[in-house]
Structure 1
Amino acid sequence: MKKLVISTIFVMQVLFSFAQTGTGITGKVVDSKTQKPLQGVVASIQNTNLTQITDVLGKFSFLDVPKGKQLLQIKTQGYKEQLLQIEVVSGKVLDLGIVFFEVDQTEEQQLSLITITENDLGDDNSGSESTSGLLQASRDAFQQTAAFNWGQARFRIRGLDNEYGTVLINGITMNKIYDGRPQWGNWGGLNDATRNQEFTSGSAPSDYTFGGILGTQEINTRASLYRKGSRVSFSGTNTNYSWRTMGTHVSGMNKDGWAFVISGSRRWANEGYFEGTNYAANSLFASVEKKFNEKHSLNFTSIYAQNRRGKTSPNSQEVNDLKGFKYNSYWGYQDGKKRNSREKNIEEPINMLSHYWKMSDKTNLNTNVSYQIGSVGNSRIDFQSANNPDPTYYKNLPNYYLNLSTYYFPAKDENGSPILDGEGNQTYTNPQALIAKNNFLNNGQVNWNKIYYTNAIVNKGEKSAYVLYEDRTDDKLWSANSIINSNLSDNINMNAGINFKKLRSRNFQRLIDLLGGSYFKDIDPFYNDDASQSDLNNPNRNVLVGDDYGYNYYLNATTFDGFTQFKFRYKKIDFYLGQSFSRTEYQREGLYKNGIYASNSYGKSSNVIFENFGFKGGLTYKITGRQMLDFNGFYSTKAPSLKNTFSNARINNNVTPDLRSESIMSVDGSYIIKAPKFKGRLTGYYSKIMNSTEVSFFYGEGLFDEEAVGAGNEDSFISEIVTGINKKQLGLELGLEYNLTSTIKVTGVAAYGQYTYDNNPNLKVNDDAQASTTNSNPITDFGKAYLKNYRLPGSPQQAYSVGLEYRDPKFWWIGTNANYLADTYIDISSILRTNNFTVDKQTGSSYEGLTEETVRGLLKQEKFDPITLVNLVGGKSWKIKSNTFGFFASINNVFDITYKTGGFEQSRKATYPDYKADNTSELPLNNPANGTFNVGQTHPSFAPKYFYGYGRTYFVNFYINF
């Protein structure tokens, strides 16, 4: 640090070295500890086109620099960025001498970021990983705070799902065709190997892709770009795993033009933060580059990241009150060890070949080919003609009995006298609720012993009543792209690219454990005759371990897209224009002839084709060298995801009705200030996403009357199809960073947004029970779902943070942040907000006793309590000879606050009478289930279910760089 201060004073004194001709700047960048020159450091004159890269001696030089005061930015991965104020004199070359670069001591925080916040709060890849992964490469104060401090509360920037951002490795998009989201686990645990990144926020221009409205993250694995050296680290934490070890070696480019990088890690836990959440992950990375000459290089990258983890269950308030927020219903003891019935297993290695061609001094062409093959499996218990093994099944819990008057008895005291309420009325008790409560408290986990007993003893080891299976996806994905970057003139730069993907995705159900039996029947016991058969081509099949059953089909996809982008840079104004076009083709190919959809499940579906386009543009007005105004505008159409294209792909070829491409528009404007001591950004934004589609599955009651579907079939497992959804996000972002002294920095960050549904979309229901040989597409139109002005779920819509950081000259540092997050809303049920909820099918009129005020009260969207989270981080490093030793430590949620990060309403009680009966109680109850006396307290069996964030957690990492 002392050398850094001396260097800065040296620069500010403006010592000149005179040249015979020219006006410019020169300097040499070295590591402040090792004194070694740093190659590949980026030096740029702010608000100009002038950029230089340091050579093998660490030197850089600029010629023809505009005279006057300038800001010189010098930065590279792993070191603290420097922003130097200089003054250029006409006809002279300013020699900065040696610029000492200090290792960024907070780098350990960045290398640990994805690891810390990667959690299993949901299975749709849309959780906090969208914040942590997308922002790792950014240095903006707002985005850093969103990642490091708000990610634990599932904060989403601008309320956007991560499918609206783009993640690339060497220019190839990593967003899944199936759902549009990146599968972070495909490179999880390889933080050292994926540290070379470029990030653009919002719809700002990227050199690699047209992008979306959430930003782009480009991970570059070219071997020659990594800093030479080796690194070993060991970590301990109490988050989703307990231990991590990681090692990386970078050779650097040798005299024969070879460079290679290898990295590996292991993460594991017998149990993570939540009960029964086992964790095991192994990751390997290799990158090899051969530089043939100054124009051509070839690089091969291989990434293997295997991850198996136990999931945790969302729970109702009833369950949390009885068992606590760490409770997980998915596990139970087997032979004295915890066994989780729901595990997620990811194993999708990536192999990529990249060619780099320097066509001229002004034009570069990068071409990549990638092949990814592997599987994702999600296990769970299947059962036939047996009780539901879920310990939180509604009939196992007290509320079920508290809602049934047949279990009520007049309450009496120990003398046999009636127990009266405050007004002298008889109160009631419910002994069955107390029995359910005690059973749940004492045996509230998966009963593996009972499952094995049923299969092996009751069923004599023959047909299993219970089995363990996994929903499995085996993908084969070819990707290819080519990206050109060309400086057309001193002021104009062009980026263009084409991308091609071909996916063949097999989706099936695989039996993985018979749990003490000998075989399992490939039938659906809820149906009769042919309708019960999963595959009419192989009826009544006995299934063994490793066999496929239930459903089996391919999803095929072919996508093509291209973009062009032109960036113009001038003295006072920079602006850009971008265009894109894409073509998407989907098809389902059924391998089973399902008994319900005998005429519409086996073989290939019709091709579903979408053609889409996009335009974006923006400008930056430079008020001064330190202040600027920045504006961006974006409009594009986007093909529906493969997931939402087929309404029930597991058992039929039906395409989702009323399916359309999304329309996405966004505008934002920012005031930005960059000074040596102070940096700030204030941004206002507005975005709208139109014509979205959502398909979900659940068991619903009261959706169809008996006359329409036959007695006993009014309750159904259905697919809910909501189309034409419009969503609106608007708000403000503020990020401030000020260096009080050379060692103390303070930050202030705020986000205020309003994220709402912006219309009343249409809702249809597909009910398999209504399918027949004459009706292979049993769709019922439920009309409008009245969602307008309800808040979008999944993220706090207000967030504020104040941070303080101290960096000591003796290479230790500590920081703290206080964060306040509010306005997080539950995910509402769409079908409860249709006319089906309020209109009696028999009379065509509103249900008796129903008023607008009553409906509004019942369907009011739940807003979670605001939370305050305090986090501490710090680290220390030592230099011993040429090696660096150090540690990084963090404590999140210091005060161990319990808070909800998300949740969803259940849709089972789909009519007003059923919903009201499940959510009201009129009897004065002396309640033995919770030990309280209450009148009119609700005891819903189908209450909302919630996800919770971590309480107090820690992360400690020890490392050595050599």
Structure 2
Amino acid sequence: MKIFKNVLFYGFLLLSSLTVFSQSKITGVVIDEELNQPLAGASVLVKGTTTGSVTDFDGKFEISSALKVGEIVISYLGFETKTVKFTVSGSSIDLGRVTLFPDANQLQEVVLVGQGVLDIAKDRKTPVAVSTIKAAEIQEKLGNQEFPEMLANTPSVYVTKSGGGFGDSRINIRGFDQKNIAVMINGVPVNDMENSSVYWSNWAGLSDVTSAMQVQRGLGSSKLAISSVGGTVNVVTRSADMKQGGAVSAGVANDDYLKTQVSYSTGKMKNGLSTSILFSQTRGDGYVDGTKFEGGNYFIALGYAINEKHDVQLTFTGAPQWHNQRSNAPTIAQYIKYGGGVEPNVRYNSDWGYADGKEFSMRTNYYHKPVMSLNWDFKINETTKLSSVFYGSWGRGAGTLGAGGIRGNRYDSDNLRTADGLVDIDLIQAYNSGETVLINGIPQTRTQTGGFYQNTSSTSNNATTGISKIAQINSHNWYGGVINLNKKLNDKVTIDFGVDARTYRGIHYNTLTDLMGADNFYDNSNINNPGNVVSYEYTARPHLNPFFSLDYQKEKINYNNDGLVNWYGAFTQLEYAGENLTAFVQGALSNQGYRRDDFFKYLESDPLYSTDYENLLGGNIKGGANYNIDDNHNIFANAGYYSKQPFFNAVYPNNASVLNENLTNEKIIGVELGYGFRSRTFNANVNLYRTSWNDRFIRLSTEIDDDLNIATPTVRGTAFLQGVEQIHTGVEVDFNYKPFQKLQINGMVSVGDWKYGSSVTANYQDDNNVVVTNPSGTPFTETLYIKDVKVGDAAQTTAAIGATYEILERFKIDGNYRYVDNLFASIDPTSFKNQAANDKGSLQLPGYGLLDAGISYKMLVGKDKMNSVNLRLNVNNVLDELYIAESRTNIHTKTQADFVLPVGDPNAGQPNVAAYQTYQNTQVYDGLDKSNRVYLGFGRTWNFTIRYNF
């Protein structure tokens, strides 16, 4: 028996040895195809088994398998999963370089840190309409364009350069402007807390540090109670623990554009520490005349993986910049007049001129908005994670403009222009300093006040006033934090709880920037210091110290007030993720408190000098589900309701501290249906949506004769029009097709129907919120006839088709054609006070199409060809299309019915055909009245970039 046991024992050892020795070793290295860099942390699994490995820092893997013939499956977040067959002859096989291609439907290099705070939509899982722009595409195609322009080929997105100054572009999603689009950077909301604005010039360097940008159209998947009426733009920046390596790049473009950049990342070192830094500098003359600019960008990230449970990331970034602007939209007639009289001069700018032969702009924007954030991820256990981000922002800067006037003429008056349409700065300075000048052919000389040539903000027609350049300071201190607890209840159900807290102080006043030849500036707007005379000129350039105190700017003029906003929110989300069905329901509640401090308008003893906080509750509830019918087809639906607090100027209207007693939250209801198709070569999405935006706040002020006696003073009345509604519906289609490896085709079409709901009526109130009535007691009312009027300022129909073709290995060309139609002018709803205005509706602008093209080449260099030199040439608006991107006015072209023969003519009352024809020949351009104030799009532009990745 003992012998038998020994035989069994040694036989088992022998079989075990044979099994071990029959194991095959499979090795290889996984490479990012686009960047030609190793992918650390990729999963490598022998198909059909539990045998697997993870690639090391150099992208290498090694697996021991009992199989001689089989397949390995390689996967990595943001990349297409790849299956590779193997056949082992002998004891091992080296598969060599295995390249993974970025997945067009997933984020590339998504930062895993703070993913409980980042609400990133996942393809075929998150039930929202979404588009993703990868870092490689941003680096390749952005060039000298504005950051939002990367989204121009996204369905239902309309982007324009607006006035054309550096960082002055704007974006609309589904017909909603960027005040009603939530912009998130690494899960942190960045919309201004007073008016929800986003100023892209403050984020001029964001494109340099972006890993990916995702646009969620509609209510989106964010757990926070944010203003995502039209959509959410999620920007994910690089982190400290990104792959080791660096880059140096330089770019040149039209109009003396130059950009240089350097970056380096250590990657995660053995001690858990990591660092990533980036610095860049940009400057140029600007495509539009008189729009010189200069901007910098810095990004510093420090990371520390304390252990497998704790990971901390600290980032600090800012983009100090200044740029001259085209703030006032010229009329079409001005573009033509200063373009030679036939075709418009697209570069014309009415806000600048020359002072002693040097460029002088009346409109300069300068700002520095550094942001510091601390992310902490805490893996409590295998099912529970805590993600937190704490941040601070210190915005410092302003926009300048002209104050005062000369003989009733503002700086932008035609009487103060040179023959080529520029502001006559030399004339203004001469007049300000007491010299005699010709204004409209008449000699004019100013007089002194108290022995000084003293400017004010008055534009009255007298001999004492002059023109100054002043700055409208709009600074802030902003602190906040978001904490999210993520708990997996089982393998399919996850629940999140979180809080969102923010506190904000907006700081607003004017300072003097340039007296333009005068001696001083007189200001009588401060009730606590009447008759203030100032003379110090503050420079219109950003302060490089991000924490400097604003107290040094003591010579404040015109107004001085602070807007304080506190925000406290709580949110929760329950998510189900089955094999084919995913669903979520989310709710959030927020309290927003508003306070106003006014240091000029009220005495310190006045309660209105500093108001109490006015607190308003808001929140949302939304949910959705996605069902994967099979490997190719999926459908989804979502719906949500938002109760959104109004902007600061609705709480305290008329730039005063008197509370609006008619406050009500805006109500948004969104519904969306979607279908997706996925295959190896063709992907497509179809979305249907409807968004209703109710109880918009519109304020209308006018002079009212409350006793019907024109000899008595009038009352200033204000109508607070509640109940204004916008209804936005539409359909979106986008696709990408890859018939073979070297060719990719992308396209989209979106058609919207965005219009106002029913007309609204409101009573006029005086400054004390008392209803204004006539002697019989009947209230004065105002009605806006806006029913079915098209929402303006964005294109309701857009389409694009583009292709990329790899001619030779790593040598690609690409082109994209974008078409815009049903583009309506920006409208002021308060101008629709009669049915006739309603009948004319919004002014429709001509449609247009733009062709962009590019060529790129990647040259592999260095040891093992692991480094690369990347060359890229972009040409935008290749065909030099002349087009109107937006109109700030809504002046309709006159019809023949507007021209009739006068009384006394034999045919009085009949159409005056000759006058109508003269009007058509002289006052109409491309079907539009030339008196409309518009922004023309840029003509043909180009940029070239060389980038070395190591």
TM-score (norm 1): 0.75
Name the structure 2 match of 1:508: 509
Name the structure 1 match of 2:627: 621
Range moving further from structure 2, 383-392 or 468-477: 383-392
1:452 counterpart = 2:405: no
1:283 counterpart = 2:297: yes
Give CA deviations for 1:473-523 in whole Å, capped at 9, x if unaligned.
121111112122332211112233211111112211111222222211113
Q: Contact 1:259–1:289 (CA<8 Å) still a contact in 2?
A: yes
Name the structure 2 match of 1:810: 809
Aligned counterpart in structure 2 of residue 303 of structure 1, from 304, 317, 326: 317
Change (3 A) 1:764 1:490: same
1:535 counterpart = 2:526: yes
Name the structure 2 match of 1:607: 613
Name the structure 2 match of 1:402: none
Q: Contact 2:156–2:750 (CA<8 Å) still a contact in 1?
A: no
C-alpha displacement of 1:229: 0.8
Change (3 A) 1:896 1:181: same
Alignment of 1:289-688 (within 5 A): 289-312=303-326, 313-323=328-338, 324-383=345-404, 386-392=407-413, 396=415, 442-457=419-434, 458-459=446-447, 462-464=453-455, 465-523=466-524, 534-545=525-536, 546=538, 547-593=555-601, 602-649=608-655, 652-656=656-660, 658-688=662-692
- Read off the aligned partner of 1:350 and give its amino acid letter: V
Q: Contact 1:149–1:819 (CA<8 Å) still a contact in 2?
A: no
Cα distance in 1 for residues equivalent to 2:795 and 2:817? 16
Cα distance in 1 for residues equivalent to 2:576 and 2:28? 28
Q: What secondary structure is seen at the aligned counterpart in 2 of 1:181?
A: coil
- Read off the aligned partner of 1:462 and give its amino acid letter: Y
Name the structure 2 match of 1:838: none
Change (3 A) 1:500 1:678: same
Cα distance in 2 for residues equivalent to 1:710 and 1:599? 37
Q: What secondary structure is seen at the aligned counterpart in 2 of 1:359?
A: strand
Alignment of 1:850-929 (within 5 A): 859-881=840-862, 882-905=866-889
Q: Contact 1:893–1:952 (CA<8 Å) still a contact in 2?
A: yes
Q: Contact 2:742–2:806 (CA<8 Å) still a contact in 1?
A: yes
Q: Contact 1:389–1:447 (CA<8 Å) still a contact in 2?
A: no
Change (3 A) 1:694 1:337: farther
C-alpha displacement of 1:390: 3.3
- Read off the aligned partner of 1:729 and give its amino acid letter: H
CA RMSD of superposed structures (Å): 4.6
1:955 counterpart = 2:937: no
- Read off the aligned partner of 1:544 and give its amino acid letter: S
C-alpha displacement of 1:234: 1.2
Cα distance in 1 for residues equivalent to 2:468 and 2:162? 40
Name the structure 2 match of 1:761: 760
Change (3 A) 1:31 1:148: farther
Name the structure 1 match of 2:283: 268
Name the structure 2 match of 1:172: 188
1:832 counterpart = 2:831: yes
Q: Contact 1:889–1:955 (CA<8 Å) still a contact in 2?
A: yes
Cα distance in 2 for residues equivalent to 1:107 and 1:873? 17
Cα distance in 1 for residues equivalent to 2:657 and 2:745? 57
- Read off the aligned partner of 1:616 and give its amino acid letter: K
Name the structure 2 match of 1:243: 258
Change (3 A) 1:482 1:706: closer
Q: What secondary structure is seen at the aligned counterpart in 2 of 1:451?
A: helix
Change (3 A) 1:896 1:705: farther
Cα distance in 2 for residues equivalent to 1:795 and 1:808? 37
Name the structure 1 match of 2:118: none
Q: Contact 2:182–2:226 (CA<8 Å) still a contact in 1?
A: no
C-alpha displacement of 1:73: 8.9
C-alpha displacement of 1:387: 3.1
Give CA deviations for 1:51-94 in whole Å, capped at 9, x if unaligned.
998654647999xxxxxxx99894556xxx42557999xxxxx9
- Read off the aligned partner of 1:335 and give its amino acid letter: D
- Read off the aligned partner of 2:941 and give its amino acid letter: T
TM-score (norm 2): 0.76
1:110 counterpart = 2:129: no
Cα distance in 1 for residues equivalent to 2:262 and 2:666? 43
- Read off the aligned partner of 1:803 and give its amino acid letter: G
C-alpha displacement of 1:876: 0.9
C-alpha displacement of 1:727: 0.8
Name the structure 2 match of 1:126: none
C-alpha displacement of 1:831: 3.1
Task: Give identity over the alignment, percent.
Answer: 20
Change (3 A) 1:778 1:296: farther
Give CA deviations for 1:672-719 in whole Å, capped at 9, x if unaligned.
01111111111111111111124589xx8xx54597696698899x98
Q: Contact 1:600–1:653 (CA<8 Å) still a contact in 2?
A: no
Give CA deviations for 1:314-356 in whole Å, capped at 9, x if unaligned.
1222222312332211101111122110111121211222222
Change (3 A) 1:130 1:958: closer
Q: Contact 1:477–1:503 (CA<8 Å) still a contact in 2?
A: yes
Alignment of 1:144-223 (within 5 A): 156-196=172-212, 200-206=216-222, 212-221=228-237, 223=239
C-alpha displacement of 1:808: 3.5
Q: What secondary structure is seen at the aligned counterpart in 1 of 2:799?
A: strand
Q: How many residues align?
A: 813
Change (3 A) 1:943 1:605: farther
Change (3 A) 1:31 1:745: closer
Change (3 A) 1:391 1:477: closer
Q: Contact 2:45–2:74 (CA<8 Å) still a contact in 1?
A: yes
Alignment of 1:122-161 (within 5 A): 132=150, 142=154, 156-161=172-177
Q: What secondary structure is seen at the aligned counterpart in 2 of 1:185?
A: helix
Name the structure 1 match of 2:8: none
Cα distance in 2 for residues equivalent to 1:302 and 1:589? 30
Cα distance in 2 for residues equivalent to 1:192 and 1:657? 46
Q: What secondary structure is seen at the aligned counterpart in 1 of 2:529?
A: coil
Q: Contact 1:192–1:248 (CA<8 Å) still a contact in 2?
A: no
Name the structure 1 match of 2:750: 751
